[in-house]
């Protein structure tokens, strides 16, 4: 009986469900998910690197990249169906200069009537500034934190460790502000280096405070750099507007701007299944696309060797990219995007020469990201025009030289070395012949000879800048900004080291203008066809090493480096010393402002 009743109920329900539509009437079509007012979603939770980090096949990762993200945001202005933009920041750190530039890009859309919504698991100094400037509404996760703790730089010193290990290091410098002793031969900063760093940080802090005040005029200034604040307190003082999870904030944003759908445009699900194959086919095809403007990225420490250095600028590969741009008749202008603390002096000069040769045939516009320091500025000086953000770091014009020697450390564990010079009887011959050896320290005559060479390189550095910026800065003016001093972007402009304040958007717009191309013309990015090609015997691995140092680090080391970027960057800038290079145009300490 129970079975019969049950069956009857089922039939009755089915009959009701099917009886709502007349026989033969067409069913209503489902809504088209690709049409209607949209909320564009930009997912930056994986970070925002300058250059792509590829896998073993050389295919780009799914992490959003800075240039492509900026260009994508610009294109949203032409999409009338986009009513709002949702930025998911997660908890990933973003450099302060990138954050500032990205905010400037979004402000144009906001001024054009689009609503901008931001959400983060936690805010840093940089991402809070970004959100304050760009977003109509700022949301944070319930267990998040606003780390508006004020601008600072942390420098790590290794002298005591080296003394303990009995590793001898000879470091020389040209430029009293270069601060070569900062990390490896002192326990604290020299007065000159301290003055230079504090002055630069003060300039960046001024810009940072102004940006937050601009975006949150009702915020009490006492709270701007008084964090950290947890969500309830952050909302109470006006740092954030809403406490919600990412999915909740996204739904509220869609409702607030009247959108009926969300559209992933950067990060997250924006890279659809099958795009990896398209990237592979593009890599195999290689070549340019006929664009009149090309971008070359120069990110990381500068080295002669293109392989095995982690992220960095390889001279051989970079030189080939420069030559490629020079030969391509379709390319009328090149944008060199620089984010580098410098590195090898020799490699910097070789690339500078190539850039000047390119500039003789095409317009060369330089865009500075987080920094163009030392060798990075060496390259930048070749540009017809240099653009930098107010929060960029520019300068460090000087030369550092040195060598590690581990002979004493080896002696303590029973390893003794003896140098046998061919010039028997000359007391100096052994030390001079061991000039490149890790087993012997330099004697005074050798140190004097090395310093002589470094002075020569420093003079060449100044000469290259004067030549590259012909008519824009005099030798006397340059000397006032040299000797290792570093500056914020706006101060660098006042000192004539930079031509214009602006980011990569402005640099590309200027290049398109000089190339005689429309403002919305396609721009190509050179040097992203490596990977699989090199495995098949083609070109070397990409213009920059494909694997980032943090991604290569052990599970124990990576978290430490991610929270102490000064350590990670210091490894990149000192690596040339371990390779045997003796003269560097490099910022001699790790510096990352977020």
pLDDT higher than 70, residue 285 = no
Cβ contact 119:250 at 8 Å? yes
pLDDT mean across residues, the chain = 80
Give the pLDDT confidence of 209-240 residue by residue, as tens digits: 999 999 999 999 999 999 999 999 999 999 99
Name which of 301-315, 324-338, 418-432 the model is least confident about. Answer: 301-315
**What is the full DSSP assignment across 294-307?**
EEEEEESEEES--S
pTM metric for this prediction: 0.79
Quote the pLDDT of residue 305.
65
Q: Give the domains, in start order, of the chain with CATH numbers.
A: 38-149+227-266 (3.90.226.10), 289-403+434-586 (3.90.226.10)
Distance in Å from the first CA to the final CA of the chain:
73
Give the pLDDT confidence of 88-141 residue by residue, as tens digits: 999 888 999 999 999 999 999 999 999 999 999 999 999 999 999 999 999 999
Quote the pLDDT of residue 565.
58
- Report the percent of the chain where pLDDT is more than 90: 51
User: How much is the average pLDDT of 243-249?
Assistant: 95
Is the model more confident about 575 or about 421?
A: 421
Quote the pLDDT of residue 449.
85
**Widest Cα–Cα separation across the chain:** 117
Is the model more confident about 305 or about 315?
A: 315
d(CA 437, CA 421): 13
pLDDT higher than 80, residue 456 = yes
d(CA 378, CA 461): 7
Give the pLDDT confidence of 539-567 residue by residue, as tens digits: 433 333 333 344 444 444 555 455 555 55
Q: Which stretches of 46-154 are assigned E, i.e. beta strand?
A: 82-88, 115-123, 137-146
Quote the pLDDT of residue 414.
84
- Report the percent of the chain where pLDDT is more than 70: 75
Numbers of helices and strands, H then E, in the chain: 23, 20
Sign, Cα dihedral of 187, 193, 194, 198 = negative
- Reading the block at residue 174, the tokens are 């040209």
Bridge partners for 363 per DSSP: 333
Quote the pLDDT of residue 175.
66
Sign, Cα dihedral of 42, 45, 51, 54 = negative
pLDDT band at residue 511 under the 50/70/90 scheme: very high
């Amino acid at each position: 009986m129970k079975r019969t009743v049950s069956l009857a109920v089922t039939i009755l329900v089915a009959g009701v469900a099917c009886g709502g539509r007349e026989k033969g009437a067409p069913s209503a079509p489902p809504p088209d998910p690709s049409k209607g007012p949209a909320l564009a979603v930009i997912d930056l939770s994986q970070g925002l690197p300058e250059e792509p980090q590829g896998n073993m096949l050389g295919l780009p990762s799914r992490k959003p990249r800075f240039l492509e993200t900026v260009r994508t945001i610009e294109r949203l202005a032409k999409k009338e169906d986009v009513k709002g933009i949702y930025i998911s920041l997660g908890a990933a750190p973003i450099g302060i200069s990138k954050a500032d530039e990205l905010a400037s890009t979004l402000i144009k859309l906001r001024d054009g009537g689009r609503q901008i919504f931001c959400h983060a698991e936690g805010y840093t100094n940089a991402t809070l500034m970004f959100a304050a400037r760009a977003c109509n509404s700022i949301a944070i996760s319930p267990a998040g934190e606003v780390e508006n703790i004020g601008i600072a730089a942390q420098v790590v010193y290794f002298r005591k460790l080296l003394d303990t290990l009995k590793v001898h290091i000879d470091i020389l410098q040209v430029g009293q502000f270069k601060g070569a002793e900062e990390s490896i031969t002192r326990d604290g900063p020299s007065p000159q280096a301290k003055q230079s760093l504090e002055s630069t940080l003060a300039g960046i802090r001024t810009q940072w405070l102004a940006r937050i005040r601009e975006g949150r005029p009702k915020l009490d200034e006492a709270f701007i750099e008084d964090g950290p604040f947890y969500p309830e307190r952050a909302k109470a003082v006006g740092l954030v507007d809403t406490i919600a999870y990412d999915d909740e904030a996204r739904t509220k944003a869609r409702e607030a701007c009247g959108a009926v759908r969300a559209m992933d445009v950067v990060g997250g699900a924006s890279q659809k299944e099958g795009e990896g194959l398209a990237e592979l086919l593009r890599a195999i095809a290689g070549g340019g696309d006929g664009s009149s403007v090309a971008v070359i990225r120069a990110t990381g420490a500068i080295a002669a060797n293109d392989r095995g250095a982690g992220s960095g600028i390889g001279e051989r590969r970079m030189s080939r990219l420069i030559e490629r741009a020079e030969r391509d008749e379709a390319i009328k202008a090149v944008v060199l995007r620089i984010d580098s603390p410098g590195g090898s002096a020799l490699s910097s000069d070789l690339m500078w020469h190539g850039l000047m040769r390119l500039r003789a045939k095409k317009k060369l516009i330089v865009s500075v990201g987080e920094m163009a320091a030392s060798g990075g500025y060496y390259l930048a000086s070749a540009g017809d025009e240099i653009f930098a953000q107010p929060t960029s770091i520019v300068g460090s014009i000087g030369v550092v030289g040195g060598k590690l020697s581990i002979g004493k450390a080896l002696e303590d564990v029973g390893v003794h070395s003896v140098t046998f010079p061919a010039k028997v009887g000359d007391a100096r011959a052994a030390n001079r012949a061991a000039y490149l050896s890790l087993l012997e320290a330099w004697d005074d005559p050798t140190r004097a000879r090395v310093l002589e060479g470094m002075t020569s390189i420093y003079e060449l550095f100044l000469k290259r800048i004067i030549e590259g910026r012909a008519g824009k800065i005099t030798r006397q003016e340059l000397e006032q900004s040299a000797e290792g001093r570093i500056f914020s972007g706006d101060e660098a402009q006042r000192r004539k080291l930079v031509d214009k304040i602006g980011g990569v958007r402005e640099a590309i717009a200027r290049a398109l203008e000089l190339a005689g191309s429309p403002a919305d013309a396609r721009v190509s990015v050179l040097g992203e066809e490596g990977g699989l090609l090199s495995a098949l015997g083609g070109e070397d691995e990409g213009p920059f090493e494909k694997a980032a140092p943090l991604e290569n680090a052990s599970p124990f080391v990576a978290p430490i480096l991610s929270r102490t970027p000064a350590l990670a960057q210091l490894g990149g800038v000192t690596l040339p010393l371990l390779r045997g290079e003796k003269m560097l145009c490099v910022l001699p300490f790790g510096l990352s402002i977020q």
